[in-house]
């Protein structure tokens, strides 16, 4: 039982360090896409933000995130 607690603690610490590294590697900019209305363009910007490690993307309408077309384009690899 003690070994399991130690392993769990080590796993938690490792995960915390990994998350800190990810946050530290982000760029300090937020892209604002308020003038765009075509879903493929917004999805492309979302992918660009992900690749360039932007700290955020601001869009005019949050319902776009649930749009199937946005999701298909956004998550393609």
pLDDT per residue, tens digit, the chain (77 aa), is 678 888 888 888 888 888 788 777 777 888 898 888 899 899 888 888 888 888 889 998 889 889 988 888 866 54
29 three-state secondary structure:
coil
CB proximity list for 65: less than 8 A, separation 6 or greater: 59, 71
- Structurally, how many domains does the chain consist of? 1
The CA distances from residue 15 to 9, 26, 33, 48, in Å, are 10, 17, 32, 26
- How many angstroms separate the CA atoms of 71 and 42, rounded? 11
Q: What is the pTM of this model?
A: 0.58
Structural domain harbouring 56: 2-74
First and final CA of the chain: distance in angstroms?
Answer: 42
């Amino acid at each position: 039982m003690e070994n399991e607690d130690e392993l769990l603690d080590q796993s938690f610490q490792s995960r915390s360090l990994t998350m800190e590294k990810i946050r530290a590697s982000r760029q300090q900019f937020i892209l604002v896409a308020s003038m765009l209305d075509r879903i493929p363009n917004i999805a492309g910007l979302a992918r660009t933000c992900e690749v360039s490690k932007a700290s955020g993307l601001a869009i005019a309408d949050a319902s776009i995130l649930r749009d199937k077309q946005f999701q298909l384009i956004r998550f393609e690899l």
